Chains A and B, each alone.
Chain A
Amino acid sequence: MTRKQLRSAKLFLAAMPLGLILPHAAGQQSDLTDESTALFEVEVDLVMLNVAVTDRRGHYVKDLKPEDFRIREDGIEQTIASFGEGNAAPRQISQLRTRGRAAPKSDVRSAVDDAIGSSLAGANVFVLFDTSNFMYRSFVYAEDAIADFIRGLDNADSVAFYGFSRNLTRHTALTAAHGDALRGLRRSVAGDETALYNSLLLTLRDTAKVSGRKVIIVFSNGPDNASTIAPDDVGAIAEDEGVPIYVISTKELNKDPISSNAFRRITQRTGGKAYFAKTWQRQAEAFVQIREELANSYTITYYPQANPNRGWRSISVELVGEEHARRRVRTRAGYRPKL
């Protein structure tokens, strides 16, 4: 194969709102360089959704099937590519959509899909702990609650533990060894000012480097006095990246309406949820609920149908059938494809 051919034989991964499969797919490049490989170009713009479905009482609805869901993007109906429930690895539903001069070889296609599947087993949980002086009084109890949460995570989940005050500190990088995360937690240091949204942005940048299902859980008391990024800008990036944000605020909802509103906005638009829990008991409850949601939500992917809109695209997920009429579906509201 000539140098020119080598350059052309690329697996072109573009416009990935999820930032996923890159490490796996890149690893496949060497398989494409033998003489017999046909030249092709594949555009993969997989969109991943974390979908929580609850009944009237707020209980999670389990055992739904792909055909129970209808997904629209800018009103255009989409075909589900893969589907998974809880921490189970998603299974492929439809074939990889291709674009280019030739269809990809089947081994490449399955390699990409395998990469998607394997990367999705379990969730990558990023815990972001506010250690600023605002949290001084509740620091130790908060650690207990976080420790319980980490201990209770599914074995398939990986966890990263970060702390922040004026700057972010990566106490434990993403790891499947939950004990390491506990060690990181016990190493956190009380700090000074609060730059929650700056730190959230940096955490999002880290989530973009890993494949698979990702969530961020923020534990904070609310006020931010040091960020130079506004919450809605961070929310927009999380939305684009498909990373749901959960916030446990140690302040009651009505005590700090400005922070509470910001929390609600960024969690809603990313498909996460905000919990307002002043006491450590309620904080522990909130963690239990998040864990439950991780275990009971659905992971659905699709390859967007042709859509000329290069700006913000709305996503709607509905349940099909009368029996689901009063059920509530929660996922991110949309995303902006990468330019």
Chain B
Amino acid sequence: MDNGVKRRVLAVLSGAVLVFRVPLAGAVEDALRLEREGRMLEARIELARSVDQSPNDARVRIAWAEFLDRHGGAGVVEAYSQAVEKLPQGETGKRREILRRLATAALLAGDTDDARKALTRLRGEDPSIWPNAERTRQAPALFEGTADNHVVVPGILNSFLRMAALSTDLPLEELLPALGRNIVTGGYRATGGPAVMEPTEYLKLIMQYLSQARELEQFAGADNSLDVSACESMETAQLLKILGFRLRGDCGAGAVLETVNPSRAFLSIDSAFPLADLEAAYQRDDSFQLDYRASELPILFDRDYWLAGAKKANGDFLDIFLSDPGLARLYVAMSNLHRPTAEALKTAAPVDRLKDYANVLDFFGTAFEVESGRAVVPGSESSKASWEKLTGQSTADGGRFFQRLIELDDGWMAAYYDALGRAGGPARAYLTEARRIERFYAAVRGKITSPGPARPIFRANAELLLLTTRLHFDSNGTPYIPGGIDPWKNLFVKHPHGKYDGRLTRSANTWTEADDVIEAMFALCRKAIENEPLKIFLAVSDIDRRRSAPLAPATVERMILAFPVHGEQFALYNDSPNLSDESIAKHLDAMQRLDKIGSYIRRADATGAFQSLIGLWQILRRNGAIPDSKADESLQAILAPFEQIGNQQAVFEAGRNGVLTLLSAAGNESVEAPQEALIELLAGDPGPGEDVVHQEIVDRMSRLLNLQRLIPIKTLFDLADHLERVSRGEAFNVAMANRLAANISEVRLPHSTLSSAESNTLVQGHWVERHIRDQRTMNLRRAVDRAQENPAQLLEIRGQLAPMLRDSLVGLLYVFYSPPGAELIQANPLFIRSHDFLGPEARRGWSRARTQGFGWPNSAGGRIVGSLMTLPYGLASAEQNFMVPSERQALIWQDLAPQMLLGATVPRWWKVDPAELQFVGLHLRLGKLLLARSALDPAILTEVMRHLRRRVEPSRLWKVRDAFRNGAVSDGVSVVTPAELLDLAKRMRESNRSMAADVGGPHLEAIEQIAARDPSKFNYDRVAKLFGMPHPRLARSYNLELLNLPLFPTMMGYSSRILAESWESNNLFWAALADELHIVPAQLNLLVPEWTQRSLERIFATHLDDWPALWRSLRLIADEVREQQRPRLEREVQAALAPN
């Protein structure tokens, strides 16, 4: 946008939104200026002072309310309420505008009373406004059970949820689908092939619990109350018998409950029956009373519909549901569908027929959409014909169309449809072109359709989704093929390791255009293994799309060949996208040379030193310490010595050279304190006033290194220099050697204290143990004596320092990436030294970092095996074991939590303008306002839904609309994630500006003012670079980005990792929170890791796709932070206002 356009926009905004704005009092204008300058606290104080001094001035009140609204602060509703009361009579337009804002703010806050009052007043003044407002004026309808629309859960609902491992945060209507999901994933196991399913212990316990609960219900009688009038009574005996306990001791102070029937007692404890209260009542010799009312859970459609498809139709619905996993799966699938689509399918096919394809519907049904009876298919009108041709069914009957879609080819068609439905932008246009729909489908489907992608317990079409969402296109909408077609053709035709696919190898010779390559990639999607070319294609495409100059074909060829072993290292090229082809080639060369080192010990040391230096270089490039201009030169300088590693001395020299190169490239020639200088650089470059936070980060890293007793780099360099001088005749400095020996002697091998049985069972890793033992037994003085003044031999002694230098360098990366707590580094003094660069087969040096060594005595404590390139995730994965869930045990999400942690540890926020936080906060709040207003205004709803559907699946959009229909506006808004809110606000700002201004005038105006201040700083690219997330799997990069993809489900082979990477909301959310509370941006360096960890500990999820639980947990932590920070804010304001 050029400046002229921007000025016009601002002019329009000022006119459209602030029609009632007249020049404000000086103090208010000052406050607004301060806000624009990012001085939020001062602005708040000035405005608060104005309100204090002119409490009856409507304009001051409005300015105050708008300020709070822009920052999402508490008291917005109250502030607008007060503002509207202060408006003079006659200012009808202003009043209506303020009332509109008041109503929207109240709806978002879930403040139904204030919302209703404002809406009533508005509609009283203008009955034509907001035709949908009526329903939001009513309280959301509560569920009322009728004869056939609910299932009865006996006893206390929370006890049942506990036994069924369901989150108590779930709304009632989501409980039965969540139970169904648990039955499908954990309720049964195949004991004699898939046909013979045995209930698991989980399900048996639920059934036993229900039986006990029904007994208790009978005991409770008609009044649904467990009453025990006195300790010594028949009721006591009856109740305790059901519970599995007896009374030990006489009634009164000595009465104690004691287990008599362990099975029943277990159920009583596991379901959290209030035994302690019962015991306390007996001890007081008092009565005990417990409300034991059954609960009613809503059933989708009605009970008869489901019973028609059940294996047995008689008995309690809950029992039938638990005993029929097929029915449970269909229930899950139908519940998760776009509701009109579910209704259409229900009409189109009988329940028992749908049940046969419940797995396909469950995995891929969320993308289905029926509107006005017709199927809404991905693509244009012409695409529709292709879909109809492929399914043999008209889209005019949506129900039958989707029924046919799920019944075809073991689910491949549904998986393909789902994948194309998620593609956006040019990919969608390209892939849904009529001829390609059929061509690529044929490739995906192949000749033999079994096993289908819906056969396993998790979706098996991950690669298909990755391909359709990660394809890159040139400006003409043609898919980008890195290096042209030839390298890919050669991959199939001349691959040195044999053929990937016979048919593709044959057809590759005839490839002439991009479509041919893409078709081959689609064909590989159906393979769970042997799909390496697809992985290579996605990886190289990711690299190429970031580059200003495309990769040379020869480089692409080399990368293709290197991928199987060194593919994980390609993140380096993504993180530094302008590396020259020459640097890439040299990096690949160096890795290959390292692999040829025959000595395992030397190879491990060289690989460790190499990877550490590359890792450090990568961080310094990311945080800008090494400028673009020095990227190639410095990388090549680091790589050069690794081309010739003939002995340990060369390893040491390569390490030393790397350290000096890094420091020099970053403009720091500090040879005196290289380690301290590197730590300073890693911590980042603070701006004015950010030194305290920076020092805290530096101190933390230094402390962690000390705990590992790693030898300071300077000590090693000094020793090496000294040995060189000794080789030239200088006397050996024994004191210096002794200092080193003293340091190392504190490193203890775990074997020393163990019994022989433990030592024999212990698996620490042969090479790791040797690495540590060699250091402990090193004796420099003896080595010098043995060298007998032979200069060459004396110089070689320096090689003995190489393992220590490796550890010290590796340590820098560990302490940089360690999440809050860093328990493994703090508790296991060998943790960093134990990093295994070889692995059991001596071939794991370049593979993904994994934690090995769980459980005693099969480990000497966990250690990380594999490449440092993937250390951030590996370390977070190891550290997540030390999180303490605040809810019931074992709720940590094993593949999601590490991604969230690394999203908090990789970024650094220095020199961030507070207005950059505000820019994000304003978008998120504008997005919320737009959503809330769309609940009232159909025109806005249409536009909002149009934008959202680019990345939100139809089933979820339906949930938003359904919540709005029920008057539960804040519930509907909470279905949309922060990343989606940002995207919505951005798109509305770009293409529906007047509508956005009408809804969130103060917000949009502030956004434009901030953007106009410095367009190079306040833009969406910068938002992504500051508050995006790293995507090590999706994009093979640790750079912060916003990929703006639809939320991925949990996938076979990836579990929740790509779901976590597509989430992208955390840092945006924290940025908005920091803006709201006027937290200094540099503080985010400390706070975001802490907030993230706390939110992970608060997740109360029911299953692996339960991302709303993550979203709830973020909001909970934000509320806690607000509770903690708002009094501070208030105190600061009050202190400033207090008379001196």
Contact = CB atoms under 8 A, between A and B. Distances in A.
Contacts of B827: 201, 229, 233-234, 237
A321 interface: no
Contact of B856 (A164, A170, A179, A224): A224
A217 B860 CA distance: 23
Contacts of B279: 182
A124 interface: no
A140 B269 contact: yes
Pick from B758, B827, B856 the residue with the most CB of A within 10 Å. B856
Nearest to A260: B755
Interface stretch (A47-55, A98-106, A141-149, A288-296): A141-149
B854 interface: yes
Given A229-B827, A233-B827, A258-B757, A140 B890 contact: no
Interface stretch (A28-36, A56-64, A82-90, A183-191): A183-191
B758 to A, nearest CB: 5
A115 interface: no
A261 B746 contact: no
A165 B890 contact: yes
Interface stretch (B254-262, B732-740, B935-943): B254-262
Interface string A166-209: 11111000000001001101111111101111100110010000
Interface residues of A, number: 58
B856 A167 contact: no
A226 B884 contact: no
B777 interface: no
A131 B890 CA distance: 11
Given A140-B259, A141-B262, A229 B889 contact: no
Nearest to A232: B753
Given A187-B272, A232-B754, 10 more contacts: A140-B244, A144-B258, A186-B273, A186-B275, A202-B884, A229-B828, A230-B750, A233-B828, A257-B755, A259-B856
B706 interface: yes
Pick from A137, A191, A196, A202 the residue with the most CB of B within 10 Å. A202
Contact of B753 (A168, A228, A265): A265
B256 A151 contact: yes
Interface of B is mostly: mixed
A258 B266 contact: no
B696 to A, nearest CB: 17
A316 B262 CA distance: 46
Contacts of A141: 259, 262
B889 A166 contact: yes
A327 B842 CA distance: 55
Given A141-B259, A191-B889, A192-B890, A227 B266 contact: no
16 contacts: A139-B269, A140-B262, A165-B890, A166-B889, A186-B269, A186-B275, A189-B270, A190-B270, A205-B823, A227-B854, A227-B855, A228-B859, A228-B881, A231-B856, A232-B754, A237-B827
A197 B755 contact: no
Contacts of B860: 230
B239 to A, nearest CB: 15
A123 to B, nearest CB: 22
B758 A169 contact: no
A144 B258 CA distance: 6
A169 B885 contact: yes
Contacts of B746: 311
Interface of A: 131, 137, 139-141, 143-144, 147-148, 151, 163-170, 179, 182-183, 185-192, 194-198, 201-202, 205, 223-234, 237, 257-259, 261-262, 265, 311, 339
A313 to B, nearest CB: 13
A167 B885 contact: yes
Interface residues of B, number: 55
Interface in B885-934: 885, 888-892
A192 B861 CA distance: 20
B30 to A, nearest CB: 29
Contact of B890 (A137, A166, A187): A166
Contacts, number: 147
Contacts of A201: 823, 827, 882
Which 5 residue pairs of A and B lie closest in terms of their CB atoms, listed nearest first? A228-B862, A225-B855, A230-B861, A140-B265, A183-B276
Contact of B889 (A179, A189, A237): A189
B269 A198 contact: no
Interface string B617-645: 00000000000000000000000000000
A311 B745 CA distance: 10
Contacts of B707: 339
Contacts of A226: 854-855, 881
Given A151-B256, A169-B889, A229 B861 contact: yes
A235 to B, nearest CB: 9
Nearest to B857: A258
Contact of B162 (A189, A195, A224, A234): A189
A188 B269 contact: yes
Contacts of A229: 823-824, 827-828, 861-862
Interface string B712-748: 0000000000000000000000000000000000100
Given A169-B884, A228-B851, A228-B862, A262 B758 contact: yes
Contacts of B824: 228-229
B761 interface: yes
B821 to A, nearest CB: 9
Pick from A189, A190, A259 the residue with the most CB of B within 10 Å. A189
B885 A228 contact: no
Contacts of A188: 269
Interface string B246-260: 000000000011110
B957 interface: no
B280 interface: yes
A183 B823 CA distance: 30
Nearest to A231: B856
B91 to A, nearest CB: 51
Contact of A261 (B755, B859, B861): B755
Contacts of A191: 889-890
Nearest to B885: A167
B446 interface: no
B1108 interface: no
Contacts of A311: 746
B258 A258 contact: no
B421 interface: no
B878 A228 contact: yes
A190 B266 contact: yes
Nearest to B887: A169
A194 B279 CA distance: 30
Given A140-B269, A261-B758, A225 B854 contact: yes
Pick from A186, A187, A202 the residue with the most CB of B within 10 Å. A186
A314 B127 CA distance: 85
Contacts of A205: 823
A234 B829 CA distance: 11
